[in-house]
Amino acid sequence: MPTVRHWIIAHACADDPALLAELPTLALPALQRWLALAPVVGEALHGPHTLNAPHEQALARALGWPEQVDPYPWAGWHAQRPGAPCAWLVPCHWHASLDHMVVLPPEALQLDANEARALREAWAPYAASEGLELLGDEPTRWLARGALLARWPVPSLARVAHRRLQTWWDDHSDDPVARRLLRVLEEAQMLWHDHPVNEARRARGLPTVNALWVEGAGVWSGQGPSPAEAPARVWHDLTPAALAGDAAAWRDAWQRLDQEHLGPWLQAALDDGQPRWLTLCGERGWRCWRLDPGSAAPPPRRRWWPWPRRAPNAQPTSPWWIGL
């Protein structure tokens, strides 16, 4: 596996005021040193409502994929199945309030592997009858393949979890393929309502698993490097706490990432002199810095005037998270 020279940090900042309030006082010495040494070499600020989250946009760009509005086919790429319609199906909980719904991801449900496996086995025969083949063995993110998954214009769960749910699929209610996929997903809801797993969860006071979220859908063309050969990787260490709005956990996760990953990675760059890229992502965009410790510093400029010259006023430096 090649050395990773480009790390993308998902949810490095967020729109949540509680998380934003942490940033000015957050002690991140490795990150601060990195930003002091590296110039910004690119950014994209598309806003909080795109189907592709900023870290997904940044990774697709690093892979050489063309920019697109529809979600990227991450499931097919990760599974290395070019030309096959694939997606991930994520068991979750839809919480209904008076005027809106909120999606809770598996980590917020305390959903264990045995529970997820039992729900999957119960639904798999019906899915197969509709042309959906469940593959792989990830307990809380099921790889699926089938013609119904060729296009599903809905963002990843990391874009919507713990947020007010917008029903993107309503815009495609006249699409027969989309309607058929919705029926398949509704069957899972009905099948699981009285399933022993959910009965046991109700008895323990836990949220039931009452829905599947489809993400990473589409057909991967085979373009670009494989996941093992990708020049960039995404750190998701900050994502669970950011989505849950847990400022204390997010701060702790940031400090661990800075100490255990960014610090050693920065030192490795300084030791081998090879360039590295760091992309920080929020909910609205991404910004990339390039560190090139091997480049020669410009020679000192000889001054011809004999008298001291007043130094120009330093320009104020904006916090790195502005706009993200």
Q: Could you list the pLDDT tens digit for every one of the 324 residues in the chain?
A: 567 899 999 999 999 999 999 999 899 999 999 999 999 999 999 988 889 999 999 999 999 999 988 899 999 999 999 999 999 999 999 988 777 889 999 989 999 999 999 999 999 999 999 999 999 888 899 999 999 999 998 888 888 898 888 766 666 667 888 889 989 999 999 999 999 999 999 999 999 999 999 999 999 999 989 999 999 999 999 999 999 999 999 999 999 999 999 999 999 999 998 999 999 999 999 999 999 987 644 444 544 444 444 333 333 346 899 888
The kind and range of the H/E element at 106 are: helix 106-109
Closest to 87 (Cα-Cα) out of 133, 141, 149: 149
pTM, two decimal places:
0.89
pLDDT for the residue 43? 95
Q: Can you tell me which residue has the tokens 């699409």? A: 175
pLDDT for the residue 311? 34
**Pairwise CA distance, residues 242 & 263, whole Å:** 22
The phi, psi pair for 119, rounded to 5°, reads: -65, -40
Instruction: Identify whether the C-beta of residue 201 lies closer than 8 Å to the C-beta of residue 208.
Output: yes
What letters, b where the CB count within 10 A reaches 16 and e where it falls short, cover 32-49? ebbbeebeeeebbeeeee
State which amino acid sits at residue 24. P
Q: Where are the domains of the chain?
A: 1-65+224-292, 71-221
Question: Could you tell me how many residues make up the chain?
Answer: 324
pLDDT for the residue 303? 46
Q: What is the dihedral of CA 146, 60, 91, 166, to 10 degrees?
A: -100
Closest to 138 (Cα-Cα) out of 191, 75, 193, 189: 75
State which amino acid sits at residue 178. A
**Pairwise CA distance, residues 188 & 121, whole Å:** 11
Closest to 259 (Cα-Cα) out of 29, 32, 36: 29
pLDDT for the residue 2? 63
